[in-house]
């Protein structure tokens, strides 16, 4: 959204109200006083920065830095509607770190947090399209949202995610299945109606 400032020679309450109701962020009456315009623009820029920060804080996982459950849910609703409208496939990848409780119990929570951060980063490197999303949805649970991706493409990406985690080589001495951290993935694809 592009911010708009109305500049007018009319100092009329009705005109000002109409300009603001049309979406202007401010209404300035001529003659223009540069210092006043600069101050108002600075205030609007600062307000925009604050809004952006608030948005990031409410949609980003505080530990890993990737999207959180709220952002995932919002994006899923939006992409579901788009896929239904355009009749395109929408894929979801459910991701869980295997035996993470045993990892935390053995290595401690600070090391568990580092494991989550590394897993999140590795997963995030696998999604390259701006429409794709990887989010942390709970403790050791992650999800990938892949608009306009069929089941073959989603399965291929899931394989890349598994390989990326294996490449991290995170030791997991308490895993009954593998000496390193691994993930389990599930893929679902559909064209919403």
Q: Residue 58: what pLDDT?
A: 86
Read off the pLDDT of each residue in 18-45 and give the average, rounded to a whole number: 91
Spatial CA neighbour of 157 closest among 148, 168, 171, 144? 144
Query: In this structure, what DSSP letter does residue 141 have?
Result: E
Question: Is the model's pLDDT at 1 over the cut of 80?
Answer: no
Q: Report domain extents, the chain.
A: 5-59, 69-190
**Range with lowest mean pLDDT among 20-29, 88-97, 105-114:** 20-29
Question: Is the model's pLDDT at 90 over the cut of 80?
Answer: yes
Among the residues of 25-131, which ranges form H helices? Answer: 34-59, 69-86, 100-107, 109-126
Extract long-range pairs of 10-13: CB within 8 Å, 24+ residues apart: none
Query: So what's the architecture of 69-190 in CATH?
Result: 2-Layer Sandwich (3.30)
Q: Residue 114: what pLDDT?
A: 98
Question: Is the model's pLDDT at 5 over the cut of 80?
Answer: yes
**Rounded CA separation 141/24 (Å):** 42
Q: Residue 100: what pLDDT?
A: 98
Question: Is the model's pLDDT at 124 over the cut of 80?
Answer: yes
């Amino acid at each position: 959204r592009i911010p708009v400032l109305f500049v007018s020679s009319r100092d009329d309450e009705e005109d000002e109200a109409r300009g603001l109701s049309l979406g202007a962020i401010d209404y300035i009456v001529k003659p223009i006083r540069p210092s006043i315009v600069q101050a108002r623009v600075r205030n609007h820029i600062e307000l925009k920065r604050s809004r952006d920060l608030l948005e990031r804080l409410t949609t980003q996982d505080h530990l890993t830095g990737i999207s959180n459950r709220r952002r995932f849910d919002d994006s899923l609703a939006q992409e579901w509607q788009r896929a239904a409208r355009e009749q395109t496939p929408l894929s979801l990848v459910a991701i869980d770190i295997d035996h993470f409780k045993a990892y935390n119990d053995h290595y401690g929570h600070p090391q568990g947090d580092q494991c989550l951060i590394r897993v999140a980063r590795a997963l995030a490197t696998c999604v390259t399209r701006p429409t794709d999303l990887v989010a942390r949805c709970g403790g050791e649970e992650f999800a990938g949202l892949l608009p306009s991706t069929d089941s073959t493409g989603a399965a291929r990406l899931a394989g890349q995610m598994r390989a990326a985690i294996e490449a991290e080589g995170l030791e997991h001495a308490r895993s009954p299945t593998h000496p390193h951290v691994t993930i389990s993935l599930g893929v679902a694809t559909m064209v919403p109606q």
